[in-house]
Structure 1
Amino acid sequence: MKNGKLFDVIIIGAGPIGINCALEAKKKKLSYLVIEKGPLVNSLYNYPANMQFFSTSEKLELDNIPFISKDPKPSKQEALEYYRRIAVSNGLNINLFEKVLSVDQIKNFKVTTDTCSYHAKNIIVSTGFYDLPNKMNVKGEELPKLTHYYNDPHLYAFQNVAVIGASNSAVDAALEIYRKGGHVTMIIRGDSIGDRVKYWVKPDIENRIKEGSIKAYYNSEVKEILEDNIVINHGGKIIKIENDFVVALTGYRPDFSFLKSIGVELVGEKQIPTYDDITMETNVKGLFLAGVICGGLETHKWFIENSRVHASQIMDTIAP
């Protein structure tokens, strides 16, 4: 044990839900440690620079701590500031830039990181899903012109840019790049823009496509990526499009290999983790899940506003 300490609970992941778990643990007077492989709220930090949340600020609040934003739907920067201030003002016990390598269970849990090891009676996994993109598995996907993460549109000014996908992230990227002077072509697997696209954005993208400002190929998929072109299958017809950059926003997935390595059972094609809906405890006694990781491949099922309750459910089980 590090310094002879046995924690009541170790929380893996310092996103909003991990922070909420720490707040609840502190209220229950439990000894706890949060371990995060990157910066605080790592996933949010890696979101696009100009991202605006779908949810209003009050739905992103933790522990009834007011989240004040200048607009009804806060920005990424406002969220980073909000969650940082919570961590600071509450003196939360968080280790950043420390990666968990393994979790083993004998009598208690042993958590081994790239720095040292810790012991705990209980473990909460709240790691999200943003680190592993869904690959297209096509030739040329490894080229430096392709990214699965979008940040700032300025990079793509006056360039021929293919945006792969039709979700919120793909639509936001396409519109921002177009408005910075990029020549945008969207490659969309289905026959329309996604149903979950933000209601105030969907008319914008549909009108830009309709007027021809943004080119869209529906019912299409990428077949190959070349240095100066991208090859797609458009309704059975192979088309080669002149191209400088590919922004492949094809979604992300949880680290299923990590969940399996710690004994969590995954069910069905959607790889849904096994856990109790009331306690959030998995099939491994003393090991709990919180946040979006609970949805497996259904990454749209859980988000901040509807998984905040997981923290109190877990702590009520650990220390009723």
Structure 2
Amino acid sequence: MRSSILFAALLGARQRVLGAYTLKDNYSPSNFFSMFNFWTAADPTNGNVKYLDQSTAQSQGIISTTASSVYIGVDHINVTPQGRSSIRIQSKIQYTHGLFILDLAHMPGSICGIWPAFWTLGPNNWPQDGEIDILEGVNTQSRNSMALHTTQGCTITGTGESGTVLTTNCWAKAPGQASNSGCGVSSNTAGSYGDDFNTAGGGLYVMEWTSQAIKIWFFTHSTTPPDILSNSPNPAQWGVPQANFAGDCPIDSHFANHQIVFDLTFCGDWAGNVWASTPSCSSKAATCADWVINNPAAFAEAYWRINSLTVYSQ
């Protein structure tokens, strides 16, 4: 009896060690922008945007840091026929697996014309190495959208999560789904996106990526697990995630060598394409581009205020 109890205790300890996460990379305010590359090419999603290099973005006040936070905004002063100035940054470090924790004081609000995202992306011909959308939405959206985009051969069951499954086939060209929709989950939690997120004082998004599954949690600052606050995160103690991307999907065959991406574009393949079917926006202007070009003041709340970004490994 005593030997079986001892074995169980040792097994539990071994499982805790194997499941433990340790800090790998800390994107602190003091080194944040030095850990990213700035994208200055055309927007791959066809947005009405002009992505700036680091020095130009700094000189225009679109990016800045304090001792405790990082600011990433957009031009909200000028009429911009050539595309509204913004940034898209991609981490210099690549990741395969890990625990990614983003603590936000503010995210871009629920504003007509915008399309902000926090996500990860593989380096090869999209979507060969996969894409993980952690925090994303368009226009006046109020709940977060999460998704995976892959090549053929990855589907999810849609179980073990609190969000609503929208699509189950992660293949970007899956029949019976909108083009590039992938497998998607919509949050059912109030305050998970946009204006409601900001009114509630922000919160944390956490993505765990293992060989078995990709999971996403959302926490308000008042509900953040103590183990995250003590820098010893243990997802096994966090309960049901918002999204649980698992099923008939060999994760390691579809996801590898990802960069962390922040961007904020305007209109484009998503926000622009649903403009006409969003009455609260289409009543403002005939097209999304017209609105974005001519109404700079509308985008004063289109900014990220990042308290911290950390990556843990097992």
TM-score range for the pair, normalised by the shorter chain length: under 0.3
Flag the structure with higher helix content.
1
TM-score (norm 2): 0.25
